[in-house]
Amino acid sequence: MASDSDILRRLREYAKRRKLDIHEYLGEGIQGIVCSTTLPSAIKAFKDRDAYEREVAVYQRIKERGISSVCGCSVPTPFSHHDGLLVIHMGIVRPPFVLDFASAGLDGPLFEHSPEAISDWIESRMDLFGDRWTTVLKIISVFRSHGIYLSDVKPGNITFE
Ligand SMILES: Nc1ncnc2c1ncn2[C@@H]1O[C@H](COP(=O)(O)OP(=O)(O)OP(=O)(O)O)[C@@H](O)[C@H]1O
Ligand SMILES: [Mg+2]
């Protein structure tokens, strides 16, 4: 797996090649590092190729279906990506939003889970989202109708405010 300095190097290299100025750090997680640019736009550089390819495939579907929002939550517009630098360039969103498709399955779930594991997962998500859980369920179901199976469902990836 790539080190943080390698991920930042690729993020900066992408910005340089596309003549973009990095504005600020937006966040980071297990999959990568995200910065905004003065365009404005967002650049996400990935730690590993598998996660990058999954997210590229989902954004391709998002583009084909013209999805820009789901249940009132904005979805980033994919602009471009770079297979060598493992970078995705997309639009900036403000809450409420849904993003981060690096763990999503396309046309089927990434992993099969036992009914017990699914019910534990639902319980933990209900604790995380509280009153918003019904909306989150609708969001999951709309994405599924497009063949996008969200699995990393947590505040941060689905942000209401
Ligand atoms: N297009 C965007 N517009 C605005 N903010 C963004 C955008 N992309 C990412 N962010 C911010 O950066 C954070 C990290 O992005 P993302 O979830 O894609 O990274 P990650 O490495 O997959 O994170 P994790 O593994 O923690 O879920 C998001 O929670 C969000 O706050
Ligand atoms: Mg995330």
What is d(CA 54, CA 132) in angstroms, rounded to the nearest whole number?
Answer: 27
> Taking each helix axis from N to C terminus, what angle separates 133-145 and 115-129, rounded to the nearest 10 degrees?
130
Name 87's Cβ contacts closer than 8 Å, sequence gap at least 6.
10, 11, 14, 43, 44, 45, 46, 81
How high does pLDDT run on average in the chain? 97
- The residue whose C-alpha atom lies closest to atom 16 belonging to ligand 1 is 100
**Where are the domains positioned within the chain?**
4-159
Per-residue pLDDT, averaged over 144-157, amounts to 97
Q: What is the pLDDT of residue 50?
A: 97
1 pLDDT more than 80: no
Q: What is the pLDDT of residue 4?
A: 86
Q: What is the pLDDT of residue 117?
A: 96
Q: Mind listing the pLDDT tens digit for each residue in 43-89?
A: 999 999 999 999 999 999 999 999 999 999 999 999 999 999 999 99
Residues with CB under 6 A from ligand 1: 26-32, 34, 42, 44, 76, 90, 92-93, 99-100, 102, 152, 156-157
Name 88's Cβ contacts closer than 8 Å, sequence gap at least 6.
43, 44, 46, 52, 55, 56, 59, 78, 80, 81
108 pLDDT more than 90: yes
Distance 144 CA to ligand 1 centre (A): 21
What is d(CA 73, CA 94) in angstroms, rounded to the nearest whole number?
Answer: 9
Per-residue pLDDT, averaged over 17-25, amounts to 98
Give Cα separations from 24 to 12, 20, 28, 39, 152 (angstroms): 12, 12, 12, 12, 24
20, 25, 26, 151, best to mutate for ligand 1 pocket (most atoms within 8 Å of CB): 26
Per-residue pLDDT, averaged over 131-151, amounts to 98
Q: What is the pLDDT of residue 29?
A: 86
Q: Which of 13, 49, 15, 44 has the alpha carbon at shortest distance from 29? A: 44
Is the distance from CB of 21 to CB of 40 less than 8 angstroms? no
CA 90 to ligand 1: nearest atom: 1
- The residue whose C-alpha atom lies closest to atom 26 belonging to ligand 1 is 29
Please state which of the four CATH numbers 3.40.50.300, 3.30.1460.30, 3.30.200.20, 3.30.70.790 is assigned to the domain occupying 4-159: 3.30.200.20
